[in-house]
Amino acid sequence: MTANLRLTILFDNQPSPAGLTALWGFAALIETGERTLLFDTGSNGRVLLKHMAALGLSMASVDQLFLSHAHWDHMGGLDSVLEANPALSVVLHEGFSKHLIQDLHGLCREVTVVGAEPQTLAPGIISTGLLASQPPEQGLILNLGGLSMAISGCAHPGMEQIISRGRALLGEPIRWAIGGFHLMYADDAEITRSVQALQALGVTDVLPTHCTGDVAIAAFQDAYGDRCVPGGVGRRLEL
């Protein structure tokens, strides 16, 4: 199994280190050397594709699209993505519209509908399964070449629940927590509890962005120091 992993943020409302457009939403591209996976699509597909072109990336290289939940800011670019690459495999869960799921069967190569149980999508690439929240959401767990991470769209169930599910699946701590942690409306006590919960679960590195909120991002920066990586379109992790 490859020990090389590159994650690139393609859509984010945090300021872009590459000077690209910041819009509300989230998407990230994950390249393992063996497959390329798009996590969510952001809210605007045309902007997503422009960002990919500016970063030297092509939608034609993407093998699979993983949709975390059915909010517009995570699936708004779906039509543009499918037009650019109808050979995609799409992974979503039972919380999405049955009509959308039915339509997707004619718009892409393959549709995988995840239920409540965790599901392995490829070696070292696992869906947490559908987690109870409003809206329901799935997280993505990666365990590649000794590197483990959990990626969330908005972490509506709580980032600690996603990390806990991943830890139980792997039988070891998750090193990285990445994505929206959904703490933008949280008070100081809740933010502190979330930071401490991730530390207690063994998370050593974080990239909190999108709906985490500026106050919570600052709290993670204080707690993790240089092991807290800022977000924004164009941010790349080479691991």
Q: Are 18 and 54 in contact (CB under 8 A)?
A: yes
Give me the mean pLDDT over the 207-212 stretch: 98
Q: Domain boundaries in the chain?
A: 6-234
pLDDT of residue 3: 54
3-state percent helix, strand, coil for the chain, nearest multiple of 5: 30, 25, 45
- Tokens matching residue 237: 């992790």
Q: Residues of the chain with pLDDT > 70: what percent?
A: 99
Q: What is the DSSP string of 56-91?
A: T--GGG--EEE-----HHHHTTHHHHHHH-TT-EEE
DSSP run (H or E) holding 50 = helix 45-54
User: 2-61, pLDDT tens digit by residue?
Assistant: 458 999 999 999 999 999 999 999 999 999 999 999 999 999 999 999 999 999 999 999
118-133 burial: b if 16+ Cβ within 10 Å, else e: bbebeebbbbbbbbeb
Give me the mean pLDDT over the 116-124 stretch: 96
3-state secondary structure string across 86-124: CCCEEEEECCCCHHHHHHHCCCCCEEEEECCCCEEEECC
State whether CATH 3.60.15.10 applies to domain 6-234: yes
Q: Dihedral through CA 184, CA 187, CA 190, CA 193, nearest 10?
A: 100
Q: Enumerate residues 6+ apart whose C-beta is below 8 A from 16.
A: 22, 232, 233, 234, 235
Give me the mean pLDDT over the 192-209 stretch: 98
Q: Are 10 and 232 in contact (CB under 8 A)?
A: no
Q: Are 48 and 10 in contact (CB under 8 A)?
A: yes
Radius of gyration (Cα) for the chain, nearest Å?
16
- Cα dihedral across residues 127, 138, 213, 79: positive or negative: positive
- What are phi and psi for residue 9, nearest 5 degrees? -75, 125
- This prediction has a pTM of 0.97
Asked whether the predicted pLDDT for residue 1 surpasses 50, the reply is: no
User: 156-177, pLDDT tens digit by residue?
Assistant: 999 999 999 999 999 999 999 9
